[in-house]
Structures are given as structure tokens and as C-alpha cells.
Amino acid sequence: MTRPGQRWTTFAIWILLSLLTLLPIWWMFLVSVKQRADLFGKPSFLLDVSSMTWDNYASVITNPSFQKYMLNSLIVSTANAALVCALGLLAAYAMSRYRMKGKDNIFFWVLTNRMAPPAAFLLPLYLLYTGVFQAGEWSLFDTRIGLILLYCVLNLPFAFWLLQGIIDGIPAELDEAAYVDGASTWQVLRTIIIPLAGPGIAVTGILTWVFAWNEYLFASTLTSVNARTITTGLAEFVTVTGTNWGQMAAVAMLTLLPAALVLALVQKHIVAGLTFGAVKG
């Protein structure tokens, strides 16, 4: 359909657009490998290999508080992704295979949790975490468990939705046959649903992992010292006086790295994911 001349014009336009997309990220990378003395002056988008340095990355990675942030982010995202996949799978299976009164209402309610503006929930969550959800000296505030639980509001509706679509695609006859053979619900889940939904669960896990990794607002409000994540670490560079731009760029690069890495794995599912399946990719 496309005319040959149009083919190359389109190609040229997309090169230009890709440059626009990549330019800010490329600039950040340049800043992260520059020496302090080279930061200012005429900006150039070319990489000067002779004066390039990995010092910013080295000092960030060897910084103990940054190591802690990184570890917290890894633990929180991984645990949250695992949790929402497990809970989401059970709930999605129930939604897909059981006849229950009012399940459409439940379904709608679960999804509304995702739509709410997070800022509106900062205050009550802060008060609940510091004053209500506590046992003696211990409270949910500034704990990784607190964040892991909280990110369920964002990720569980999402996992639930995605997994339901996937389980709907598995023929119900398969589990019926297993039930006839005397299998329990748990056995059906383990031997039929989980293996067949495997790739879908993986995509769900990866996307929820990235969402949890990327979250900032709640992490900054509901943690203070012990459970801070990498996104809050990055934001701290801006608020302190005398910003160290090189190190900030290095942290930002490390923050966006996982997203860039998983992009290839989940690219096909991003559209369905971000629109809650309303638009099929």
C-alpha cells in the first residue's frame, strides 16, 4: 500500500522522532559520565571518550545509603510483584470460573482502586501507618512490608485484570475434566492453570515489578530512613543544596535501567496493560 518514496520519508521522520525521544536520556548519560569540571560550558551531544569517567557511578554504588535504597527497591518490587501475582491469580480464577452473586460489582470496585488519585490517600495512609496499624513500638510506617502492602492498591487491580483475561482464554473443560478425576481446586490451579497461564503470569509480574520500582509519592511519604527506595533517593539529590549533577544523573540512569531492560520482554503487552485491556495491542 505504501508508496516507495513514502517508505523512506516515513523512515526519515521516525529517525527524527527517535532522536527526540532518546536525546534527553542520552544527555543524562553524558552528564553521568562527565567529570565535574566538564559539566558547564557549551553543551555538546557527542560523547568525549577521552575525558569520560565512571567515577559518578562508582561513588554512587559504593555509597552505603544508596546500596540500602537499591536493596529496598529490589525487595519491595519483587515481593509486591510476587504477592499481587499470587493474590491476583486466585481472584482472577474465582472471577473466571465461579458463579457468584455480585461479582460484577466486586470486579468494578477492584478496578476503581486503581483510578483514585494517590495524593488524596497520602494523608489517611500516613495517619493509619503511623498511628493505627501498629503493635507496641512497631508500626507499618517506614517498613518494607508497609510499602509492599500499599503497592497492592496500584498493582493488584492491574494483575487481577490481566490475569482474568488470560484465565478466560484457558478452556474450562480442562479443569472440569480434572475435577471429575477428583482433583482439588489447588491441584487444578497448580497442574493446569499455572502452567498454561505461565507466560501471562510472567508478563504480569514484570509489569507490576516495574510499576512498584517506579513509584515515588507513597515511598517518599510513608518511609523516613529504613525503607527508603531508589526513587526517593533520586529525589533527595534535588532538594539538598549544591546538587551534584553527575551523581544525580548516575542514580537516574540506574533507576531507569530496569525499565529499559524489560521493555523488550513486555512490549507487546504494554498497551493492553496500560489500558486495562480496554484496548488490545
Q: Interface residues for another protein in 218-237 (CB under 8 A)? A: 221, 231, 234-235, 237
**Range in contact with another protein (rule: CB under 8 A) among 26-34, 55-63, 64-72, 194-202:** 26-34
DSSP reduced 3-state for 114: helix
The least CB distance from residue 4 to another protein, in Å, is 10
Quote the radius of gyration of the chain (alpha carbons, Å). Answer: 23
List the one residue from 36, 51, 52, 124 that touches another protein (CB under 8 A): 124
**Range in contact with another protein (rule: CB under 8 A) among 52-60, 62-70, 92-100, 197-205:** 92-100
The least CB distance from residue 241 to another protein, in Å, is 13
Q: Compute the distance between CA of residue 222 and CA of residue 212 in angstroms, rounded to an integer.
A: 14
Is 67 a binder of another protein (CB under 8 A)?
A: no
Q: Which of 230, 247, 260, 258 is nearest to 58 (CA)?
A: 247
Cell of 116: 483514585
- Contacts of another protein in 2-21 (CB under 8 A): 2, 6-8, 10-11, 13-14, 17-18, 20-21
C-beta atoms surrounding 52 within 10 Å:
13
Taking a C-beta distance cutoff of 8 angstroms, is the pair 35, 54 a contact? no
**Roughly what angle, to the nearest 10 degrees, separates helices 103-115 and 144-168?**
130
C-beta atoms surrounding 95 within 10 Å:
20
Taking the least distance from each CB to another protein, the nearer of 174 and 262 is 262
Is 242 a binder of another protein (CB under 8 A)?
A: no
**Range in contact with another protein (rule: CB under 8 A) among 50-58, 61-69, 86-94, 195-203:** 86-94
Cell of 274: 496500560
Taking the least distance from each CB to another protein, the nearer of 149 and 174 is 149
DSSP state of 40: S
List the one residue from 185, 187, 191, 244 that touches another protein (CB under 8 A): 185
Is 1 a binder of another protein (CB under 8 A)?
A: yes
DSSP reduced 3-state for 63: coil
